[in-house]
Structure 1
Amino acid sequence: MNYTLHQLHVFLKVTQTLSITKAAEELYLTQPAVSIQLKNFQNQFEIPLTEIIGRRLYVTDFGKEIASAAENIINEVYAINYKTLAFKGQLSGRLKLSVVSTGKYVMPYYLSKFLSTHSNVELEMDVTNKVKVVKALKNNEVDFALVSVIPKGLEIESEVLLENKLYLVGNAEIENVLPNDFYKLVSKTSLLLREEGSATRLAMEHYFSKNKISPLTNIQLTSNEAVKQAILAGLGISIMPLIGLKNELDNGTIKIINVKGLPILTSWRVIWLKGKKHSPIANAFLNYLQEEKNRITQDHFAWIHDY
């Protein structure tokens, strides 16, 4: 056998995505390049690694065994590289984060200078829904998570980054109402909701229950970006985190509807399992956050205090 590290990397990505197209996108390669590497790798084995059934790609049991071995080999190669750089006195390795979807408007600003200062640090950041973020944290698959609501049932420690405000918003054409007239608005306008389990959805439901509000019609969407686009299109109103609305508020395409009991206030915070033994990189990042978070918040998020 004469397979290469590149072939192992390509094959592992194919098994993770179950798609030549997605693997190519994540590896920044063309589809034909991925297909050729996969074929060359397969040619070195008498037993099929993958199979196509009904235009869907499946990994055989043998392929799963080889994928597991490939992952171990790749991790060992990374470890060799990290140890070499560490021996030279350079901070290196992987920083693993899991971030709730709205956190994509927050976390990059707290990473930028740290990553530029430590060019040998590799970032692995998954932006996903709250359920998956909590699962990754619970299974100790990540160093840190970014959330706006602390998950229940986990012993965690945290570092608060900035305030999170949730307002009722609509497009420029939505009528203004008196603060106590939210009932009137939801009786004739669709309410746009995030999926169940979302921190934003939970905050909305708590607000409705507390104020005994029953919206006439609901539309459920799976991301804050989808909710924002639906608002712009005039499909309805929603309670949304302020953090992702700066451009739209500035240009007037979305406006805040002032109603009783809003905004809902929480905090964006980095959390980790209590008692977790951090890697040198994770420790360095946490120290960086503690030293720099106030400056970063002032430089990039001071506008939040205007609302």
Structure 2
Amino acid sequence: MVTMIRLLTIFSVPLFWITGVSLSQEVNQTPSTLLGKPEEKIQLSCSHNIPSYNIILWYQRSVGDTALKLIGYVYYENPTVESLYQGIFDVSGDGAKEAYLHLLKLRQPEDDGQYFCAASYTSCDSGREAYFGGGTRLTVLDPDISDKAIQPNVTVLTPSIHECKDAKDNKNKKTLVCVATGFYPDHVSVSWKINGENVFDGVGTDNSAVWNNETKYSITSRLRVPAGVWYTDSNEFNCTVLFFNGTEYIPFEASVMGDKAPSTGGMTTENYVKSTQTAKLAYIVFIAKSSLYGFFVVVFVWKLQGKSGKHFT
């Protein structure tokens, strides 16, 4: 039995460990993302080239959890699986080189989540630490939804005409919205380009896709640009949604062109229509007033003639 002096401190690992100093380019974990079906058997791999490190550990982070749970580890060529996971997972390989995590029979949704490997060692030397691989995201497809991936529908919505109307002031911003809907599962990432160049400033994307019982998953991303950039009709704004179909990431794209800057002088079509309608209304009012005035004149003359006729008789 291995004396797990150092490992006792990493049986339950907070999430921030794997997003900070504990990540290492010397630890390679594959695959990075994976789709599986219930009852299917899959395998994850982890390798490292760190001298004197002789243990590879495997952790699970279930959906909604913030900590990693130890599944098992391989010390040199000696495998150990925690009692809670025996019969569900298995481990094998050589902790000094490469080890494997075997999911013996996928369950849905129990096995959904992220899996991480870590290279460590059996020593009391506190100056060294475990190093984690990049992780594997696993989704076990729900047979009640679909037995295969469903691709997204992508649309780019143009900015509202009521948002920051001054096209000359580039301190004002216009917001484009990219919407991806109807996909399953939620293995997606969103990026923006302007005229073929990647854009990162002004981009805000939902932290995760949102589930809707009717439309599967959806996700939105927003791009805020200076008003002058939007009001350049030669500019092309592109949104790309990378979707994992079970084998590879496939891009799905949508684009819109910039708008013409609103005119600040001269006669636009909108102004012309408004002015024409105003002129027609003014003409109608003028005719009505003239007719009414003419009617009063006729009545007045008629009354005047009547009075004159009585006077001469």
Structure of greater Rg = 2
Q: Which has the higher helix share?
A: 1
Higher relative contact order (CA 8 A, sep 6+): 1
TM bucket, shorter chain: under 0.3
TM-score by length of 1: 0.25
TM-score by length of 2: 0.25
